[in-house]
């Protein structure tokens, strides 16, 4: 999308080292150059989302803010023909559309409106909790694996870092019930999962509430129907233990953009184009989805580490495949 330079200019640090700790042994690796990019970035969503909306507007999209979608409008035969909602003043607004795309997250109102049910459900047995901290140097992304847990650090804007801990849901719920609330439970879980990191954080300041999910679902929804499609968490959600959700959303958006571009150009009918999108999405998500479901069982540390190595290979393969695809609409991107 040509936005990498802008993301880094916004203050998101270009991260060039990743530290892996397993059973108290730490290995640090330098990020390899791939597809012309030699770093990782973990921008705050409020910064990234604003940039994406502005880029969409620059590309010709009409962007409406302060609008709440109440549901999808259907015609007499059940085809999506737009959305109904209200503006920030509470005034009803109807928008007509040839296609309705739901990119509205795990609790997707679009999915509920069109009856998009799960085609695969692998349960919700994992918990992820996180908070932001400042006051320390964050030279690397960190991953820390111990029996029954996975924790880490993502450096981000303003000298802050997102510190997170993943555990089985049963463990997170037990600790939450036995402590005074989310903040205390987070501290207990982090001390168990990453004691050295927990000690470092005593010199830092927490700048956000503790957030997260105590039961993270792993499911795949139907991704299309007459006049509608779903992308990102609206169509497919998995436990955050593999930390690849935003990349999934970008991938699905690109696959859907290519499909809709073909339909709007008359190169394929809508049903064929959207069915092709779902097929490509399902093929692309499969390996990472299966690895996620294996990781969230929290096997022994050596087995967990081996699964994360396979995950890294799968992510690299996916990124290379996406980089080789033509840009929807036939435009050339200038490397960032």
Answer yes or no: do 313 and 300 share one domain: yes
pLDDT at 151: 98
And the tokens for 254? 């690109």
pLDDT value at 98 more than 70:
yes
Name the DSSP letter for residue 115: T
177 within a domain of the structure (yes/no): yes
163 & 108 share domain:
no
The confidence score (pLDDT) of residue 117 equals 92
Find all residues with CB under 8 Å of 31, minimum gap 6, and list them: 15, 16, 17, 18, 38, 39, 40
Quote the pLDDT of residue 120.
Answer: 97
Looking at the structure, tell me whether residues 197 and 305 fall in a common domain.
no
Axis-axis angle for helices 301-323, 270-295 (nearest 10): 160
Asked if residue 124 lies in contact with residue 169, where contact means CB atoms within 8 angstroms, the answer is yes
The predicted-structure confidence for 40-62, as pLDDT tens digits, reads as follows 999 999 999 999 999 999 999 99
In the prediction, which pLDDT does 1 show? Answer: 80
CB 199 within 8 A of CB 178: no
Average pLDDT over residues 197-225: 97
Q: Say whether both 104 and 194 belong to one domain.
A: no
Helical (H) or strand (E) element with 161 = strand 160-168
What tens digit of pLDDT does each residue of 171-206 get?
999 999 999 899 999 999 999 999 999 999 999 999
What number is the average pLDDT over the span 156-161? 97
CA–CA separation, 163 and 265 (whole Å)? 45
Q: Are both 98 and 211 inside the same structural domain?
A: no
CATH code (residue 249): 3.50.50.60
Identify whether 2 is part of a domain. no
Q: What is the mean pLDDT of residues 225-240?
A: 96
Model pTM?
0.92
pLDDT of residue 335: 38
The reported pLDDT for the residue numbered 330 is: 57
pLDDT at 334 over 60: no
DSSP state of 93: E
Say what the pLDDT of residue 328 is: 65
* Position 34 pLDDT exceeds 90: no
DSSP for 33-100 reads PBTTB--B----HHHHHHHHHHHHHHTT-----S-EEEEEEE-TTS-EEEEEEE-TT--EEEEE-S-E
Tens digit of each residue's pLDDT (9 = 90 or more) over 273-287: 999 999 999 999 999
């Amino acid at each position: 999308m040509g936005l990498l330079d802008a993301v880094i200019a916004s203050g998101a640090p270009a991260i060039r080292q990743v530290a892996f700790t397993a059973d108290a042994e730490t290995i640090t690796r330098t990020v390899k150059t791939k597809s012309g990019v030699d770093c990782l970035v973990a921008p705050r969503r409020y910064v990234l989302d604003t940039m994406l909306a502005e880029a969409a507007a620059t590309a010709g999209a009409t962007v409406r803010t302060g609008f709440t979608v109440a549901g999808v409008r259907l015609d007499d035969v059940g085809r999506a023909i737009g959305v109904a909602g209200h503006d920030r003043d509470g005034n009803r607004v109807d928008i007509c559309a040839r296609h309705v795309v739901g990119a509205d997250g795990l609790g997707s109102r679009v999915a509920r409106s069109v009856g998009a049910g799960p085609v695969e459900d692998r349960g919700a047995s994992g918990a992820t909790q996180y908070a932001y901290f400042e006051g320390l140097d964050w030279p690397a992304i960190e991953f820390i694996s111990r029996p029954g847990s996975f924790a880490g650090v993502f450096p981000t804007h303003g000298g802050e870092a997102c510190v997170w801990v993943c555990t089985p849901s049963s463990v997170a719920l037990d600790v939450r019930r036995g402590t005074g609330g989310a903040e205390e439970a987070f501290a207990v879980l982090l001390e168990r999962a990453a004691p050295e990191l927990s000690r470092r954080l005593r010199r830092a300041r927490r700048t956000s509430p503790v957030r997260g999910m105590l039961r993270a679902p792993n499911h795949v929804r139907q991704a299309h129907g007459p006049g509608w499609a779903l992308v990102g968490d609206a169509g497919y959600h998995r436990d955050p233990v593999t930390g690849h959700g935003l990349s999934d959303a970008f991938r699905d958006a690109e696959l859907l953009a290519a499909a809709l571009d073909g339909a709007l150009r008359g190169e394929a009918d809508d049903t064929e184009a959207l069915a092709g999108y779902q097929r490509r999405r399902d093929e692309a998500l499969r390996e990472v989805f299966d690895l996620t479901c294996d990781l969230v069982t929290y096997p022994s540390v050596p087995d967990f580490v081996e699964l994360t190595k396979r995950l890294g290979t799968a992510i690299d393969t996916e990124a290379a495949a996406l980089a080789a695809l033509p840009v929807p609409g036939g435009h050339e991107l200038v490397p960032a």
